[in-house]
Structure 1
Amino acid sequence: MKVGHEEARAAFLAGLDAFVAVAEELSDADLMAASRCAGWTTGDVVVHVHLGLQEMLLGLVSATAEGAGGSAVVADADAAGYWRSSPPAADDADDQLAGMRFVRLLGAAYRRPSGAVRHLLPTVAGIRTAATRLPPGAVPFQGHVLTTGDFLATWAVELAVHHLDLGRELRLPPPAPAALRLARSTVEALAGEAAPSSWTGETVVLLGTGRLRPDAGQRAEAPALTGKLPVLG
């Protein structure tokens, strides 16, 4: 699944703005509500997204149009293939549970949950500037090399998924349509099956990430697809 530079940048920036707009409207009580991520509050999701954007910023500043000696940089993963592998661990003791607990502990360190949102905003400003100025090229990231379009697309998907995660107990505006479309396309590319056109992007993404389980009607309507879900972590 290849995504063009300008398409991906527009989707990413729209997804970023939509996520931040929702986060800024959440009260301290809202930020303590349960999210769709097991064990995390909505405030913890904000912390997780902030950590991810900080890592993304390192990728943006290391983007290049050329490799050593002026040779072309060859991407080894695309916008869907990136999700098929786990990022390399910095610590042998790292695992999914350790990562979940780290985010919870970091979120609990703020005196009020809204502090996590305020802390997010300067990073967002830097990310927006860097993404706007980013020329087409390649980005080494988490053991892979991606084109800038595919790199930005993966983060548009990340933002769309976590935007949906905020809405388990809260009634919130939906993710940016462009980011949600990329998230749906990613689920379908990973599954190798198209979802029924009658299914909304939100439904496809929630099923594709395991946030929801297919019901009997969905299994009957799309057995090949639902039999492969979830496909996106």
Structure 2
Amino acid sequence: MSPELLRSAYGALSALVTDLMPEEGDRPSGCAGWAVLDLTQHLLDDARRGLVALATPAGGPPTTDAVAYWRSWQPSPEDDDSTAWRTRVRASATGGMPNLAPLYAETAAAVCVAAGRADPGELVATQGWVVRAGDLASTLAVEATVHHLDLVAYLDRPGPPADGLAEVRRVLEGLLGGPLPAGWDDATAARRGTGREPLSGADRAALGEWAARFPLFA
């Protein structure tokens, strides 16, 4: 994946986060149980993950890629609750969106610079995996795009860029091993593929036996 896709996803998300009003940090998001402020803290954590990974060279061979990385993301309800609680505690200590938003924006910008300087085939380490820098950039863009949808779920704000949504769909179809229903636009594919929107009866009929595999990651 080219660094332009990551710059697009992170640029749009940074613009959204820095434009939010302080009181909007308390609004719910599309990530069940997470407020906008909590989710922004999580996004900062992921940007930091990317920055650390891009500065952590690893020996080969790669142990995951842009698609396979997501197969491990099927957290249990207990894991979700624990992560949400820890994130909320840290987010509550930031002083709210006016303090957290610029910190996210500057960290995201640094990640984009680092990704632009990296050879896409360079091997780096993240979360116990060895991955090519280009594939790492995809995971960061996918995470940012899905959570961009979450942030605007209850806000009248612009959604993520089309190129990020297309990358989410590509990853979901890679996990599924075939095409998602043609009637789903890319935003719908992102929400349904990650369990944020339930499958309808028509969806299940179109997917057939594949429906049992949803969500493809959470």
**Alignment TM-score, normalising by the size of structure 1:** 0.85
Q: Which of 24, 40, 51 is residue 57 of structure 1 equivalent to?
A: 51
Give 2:64's match in structure 1, choosing from 74, 77, 92: 77
1:168 to 148, 153, 161: 153
Structure showing the higher helix proportion among its residues: 2
> What is the DSSP-based 3-state SS (H/G/I as helix, E as strand, rest coil) of the residue aligned with 1:227?
helix
Describe the superposition over 1:31-90 as per-residue Cα deviations: whole angstroms up to 9, x where unpaired: 2110011211111111100011112111001136xx4xxxxx221211111111259xxx
Q: Matches of 1:189 and 1:86 in 2, distance apart?
A: 15
The one-letter amino acid of 1:106's match is R
Q: What letter corresponds to residue 81 of structure 1 in structure 2? A: A
**How many Å separate the matches in 1 of 2:97 and 2:6?**
25
**1:43 maps onto 2:37 in alignment:** yes
Q: Which of these residues, 17, 20, 24, is aligned with residue 26 of structure 1?
A: 20
Deviations 1:75-123 (A, max 9, x none): 1211111111259xxxxxx943222111111111133333211221221
Give the 5 Å matches for 1:88-99: 95-99=79-83
Q: Is the 8 A contact 1:45 1:166 kept in 2?
A: yes
CA RMSD of aligned residues (A): 1.9
Counterparts of 1:146 and 1:168 in 2: how far apart (Å)?
Answer: 31
**Alignment equivalent of 1:10, drawn from 4, 7, 13:** 4
* Range that drifts further, 146-155 or 94-103: 94-103
AA at the equivalent of 1:138: L
Whether contact under 8 Å (1:31, 1:114) holds in the other structure is no
So what's the TM-score if we normalise by structure 2?
0.90
* 8 A Cα contact 2:50 2:136, kept in partner: no
AA aligned to 1:126 is: A
Residue type of the partner of 1:211? R
2:116 to 132, 156, 160: 132
C-alpha separation in 2, matches of 1:111 and 1:143:
32
- SS of equivalent to 2:18: helix
Whether the 8 Å CA contact 2:12–2:161 is kept in 1: the answer is yes
Q: In the alignment, what sits opposite 1:119?
A: 103
Q: Is the 8 A contact 1:15 1:176 kept in 2?
A: yes
Aligned CA distance change for structure 1 residues 120 and 189 (closer, same or farther; 3 Å): same
Paired residues of 1:53 and 1:127 also in contact (CA < 8 A): yes
- The CA deviation at 1:173 is 1.3
> What amino acid does structure 2 have at the position aligned with 1:183?
V
Contact kept? 2:115, 2:133, Cα under 8 Å: no
Unaligned runs of 5+ in 2: none
Residue identity opposite 2:211 in structure 1: T
- Unaligned regions of 5+ residues in structure 1, if any? 68-72, 88-93
CA distance in 2, matches of 1:128, 1:139: 15
